[in-house]
Structure 1
Amino acid sequence: MILPVGHDKLFRRLPYLTITLIGLCTITWLITFPIELKQRTQINKISKELFEKESEFIYIYISEHPDVRYDPEGYEKFHKALLAGEIIDKESEEYKEWEEVYTKYKTRLEKRVFSILGFKPGKFNFLNLFTSIFVHGGFFHLFFNMLFLWLVGVNIEDYWGRPLFISLFLIGGIFASLSYTIFNLGSTVPLIGASGAISAVMGTFAVRFYKTKIRFFYFFILFFRPIWGTFLLYAWFALGFWFFEQLFYAMITKSTFSSVAFFAHVGGFIFGLAAGFGMKYLKVEEKYLADKIEKQIEAVQLHPKLEEAFIKRDAGDTEGAINLLREVLKEEPSNSDARLELARSLLLLERKNDASIEYEKLISQLYEKGKMEEVFNVYLEVYEGKLEHLFTTKTQFRIATNLVSQEEYNKAVELFSLLVKNHPEDKLAPVSLLKTGRIFLKNIEDKNLGRGALEFLIKNYPHYSGIDEARTLLSESEKG
């Protein structure tokens, strides 16, 4: 047995919507499942009576059609033939007795709570596209769906916000049901469960948090000895493997009956992937969501110990402030304000190595939140205090490169220039000069500064591997 039990991506606020969805599914199951069990008992009783009535007809049909398999599809063909009067005369007493039981059986099936709330491709009902999501067939069906919803839902809700998350969940669920419909046209078997909608959220999680490590618990018995433990897998690998597994089963069960809607899982996951890549390509989160959500988090999660730490530091008790800030970060590891104040407090006590670690963590957190403006401001704060050595050149280069991707060209050039000025012997210095020259020529369109950067690169770093590109850029700028 292998089960996902968590991952290393913490959420920053209580996921009300995910909890609400889990609550709705659970309450729906608690209400509907006892009703379904009672209805199932009644249907099984009628089904037994029906089978006794039609067993002789089945024998006649199979003897005349040896190519028909005794499966749901073959059974459906048998019923069509029987209803058409091809097996036995419709005016006979045996047929009328069977028809009475069959009508009662069909009526009970249609009145099942799962039939009323589930989605049936052969009897399209738009409302059932929504109601079917919240209905589950058994405890384990509910449990595993809710486990996966919690695993991936809380972080998408946290970083995308509740309106987008619920839209992804519901529209993804509809897309999953329609994907299932394409391969099951005419089916009257009700489709139930949130797995299609959850698959959409899983697809998005695989894109947005692809480097997150998911923790799995395993348990098995080898030579009568129980063995258990945990292991980690990257989200892109674990969820990608799950997707291809679902696709494989969807293909091999395509022409047979299956109690699992594999095509709904596949369709939902593809929808989630498309949503994730679309948001990433259009930079929706960075441009429209990150700052707004961060303000909501700050408004809701202003930690009382943070204010107490400010008071202690202002009163001269910097060590006491540091202890309080560490307590805040122990409770809320993603609290950027506490991390920044901790780094500042450590600097006040000249504990520069410790401050460097906290600044590096802060930069990583701000990156994760897509807050490039704050990343730049933190770097400038450190630089203006003549403490830029606290950052590694790799971190400085990473900040500048990301500013380029955000089209913050002037800020990027400033950081590249500082790196070259302060670390001329570093291997990233010539790379920074080349990027600076390219930005001035291609983006800022200041040829003089661009040529100056490239000429400096060619003169001082003649053995740099990108020197030919620098010469080409310089030559093209002179022609222009």
Structure 2
Amino acid sequence: MSQPLYRITFQGKLLYGFEQNEVRDNLAKLTKFDEKSLDRLFSGDVVTLKKDLDSLTAQRYKEVLDKTGAHCDMILQQEDGSSDQASQLPPEETGITCPKCGAAQQFGDSCSRCGILFSKYRQRQQRINEGLPPAQDTQPAQISYFDHHQEQLFILKAFGVILAIILLQAFLSQFIGLFLLFFPVIFLVYIRFKAASEDRSPTEVLAEHITLMPVMYTAEERKKEHVAWVTYSLILFNLFMFYGFEMNTDPLFMANNLMFLPLQPTVLNVPISLFSSMFLHANNQHLWGNMLFLWAVGTVVEKRIGPKRFITFYLLTGIAANLCFLIVHGIIIGGPAHIIGASGAIAGIMGLYAVRCYFKSMVFPLPILGIFSLFLPISLKVRLNALVLIGLFFLADLSGGIGQITGHASMVGHWAHIGGMLCGIGLAMAFKLSQQAFEERHLEIGSNSVHKQSPGMSLESGEESLNLILKENPENVEALLLLAQIKTKFRATPEGEQLYTRALGLLLKENRLPEAATTFVEFHRLYLKGIDGRSLYRLANYFNQQNELEHVATCLELLCNDPQTSGDLLEKSLYQYGKVLESLGMEDAAEHYFCRILDQFPNSPFSQKLQLQQQRG
């Protein structure tokens, strides 16, 4: 049976983003048609541009014509030479085909796959086709301050949300109670409509909006490769101190010696109480409230700053919290200054969180069953930015602390919380944790754009974020690799090759061999080439340790066939590659490389070993 033949037809339709005059000019340059022929092309009738083409040739013709902006159709011909209309595959009238990657979509000014703006891409390609340099704006667009200071804009938005919440509470507080009264009904109606619109079960939609967690937690926390041992140890130690020590110890002894300040202060027990008071609690509610908050923020912060720094900062912020409480209550207010509890140190960790994880979202559980929440702890997931939530906590403590100064009695250690949080923020800034947060935030944006984990995330936004990281830290390997993946999303590019090479060099320099090996496999799949000889040999040895003979063979083959490989490196590579080929059952190929050793290195130990093997054989 003969292979099917196709014809290329045109009916005057244009690809999205092109104008008719522009397409006419492009077709005239490509086909050398005169004006009469061009008029016929745009008459609205179906015109056959080429016929009797095999599938591959027809596809190539169509790709060339698509670059002109002409929307052509590839139609299967019947054996008698007429077109089979049922086989025609034109896109829908409302469809858009990206001129860069060929992706089809229903509407939009930018490509949903590669993220380009159609109008800008069309203008750039037109100038390239005409041999002109990139267009320069005669009137440069006005660039705002925040275009170059995205983090400040992010923080400013968080403060704006805080202000909006405060104003809402101040001016609409009388309606909040009424809203909460009817909220369960409103919420269930919303769930019902959302489920119907998405053709899902109400139970499934409801599960996405409720939580059984009694305390706030970080949403979409991905750093699970490390366990926050210090945080969990602190929680266990606090539980032991309360149930194992406090409940079996004379309260007067603890008040006289272990709380800060002790009732009977001495040179010895005052410094001890600075620490011991952090692990004492008044009752179960005090203990468990603090421990839940410690778990919520401590596990996230510890994974990012490390256990040693975490425990150091925890103790330092706890001490700062106690001293701040002493200064305000003992000196400014002039009353008794005695405090116990871990909340000051936990507030310090919240301050660290506000700097190191400012971009994170936290889920705050809002009880929706009223008094029944005591028996059925179901809460609504309220997602708020970490800065917003921690900022509200700080303002609540500040308001309560000012109230204590002005004479409103309260048993809450507001000034301990304030002192601890400010100390945590200060430590985070001093140790430049904000820079780490900046890099992590933009790495997430870059990763989401590559893997399309967030709706509306384009490759352009990911590339912009990754370039921001590399501007501040050119040796950020993760940013280099993600940017390389963006640059090679649709085809191998020179920019991608440079990025992969830089990343591989840094990974090998830092002795991160598993990541370097994975990156090399990805790089070689795209470019079918190697890197410098010594690095290739290191990778070959690593692959050999992992018993990945296929990748060992790839590295050694590149070394053996590279003219720049010489001396002992070439000798070792030839011998090892021959042995790998033997183990893979490719004796003839192995013999070829063994012969190269005998020819190029006749006096080497490897040659002598091969000669002995030949004599025995």
Which of these two proteins has the greater Rg computed from alpha carbons?
A: 2
More helix by share: 1
Of the two structures, which has the highest relative contact order with CA contacts closer than 8 Å and spacing of 6 or more? 1
TM-score range, shorter chain: 0.3 to 0.5
TM (norm. structure 1) is 0.46
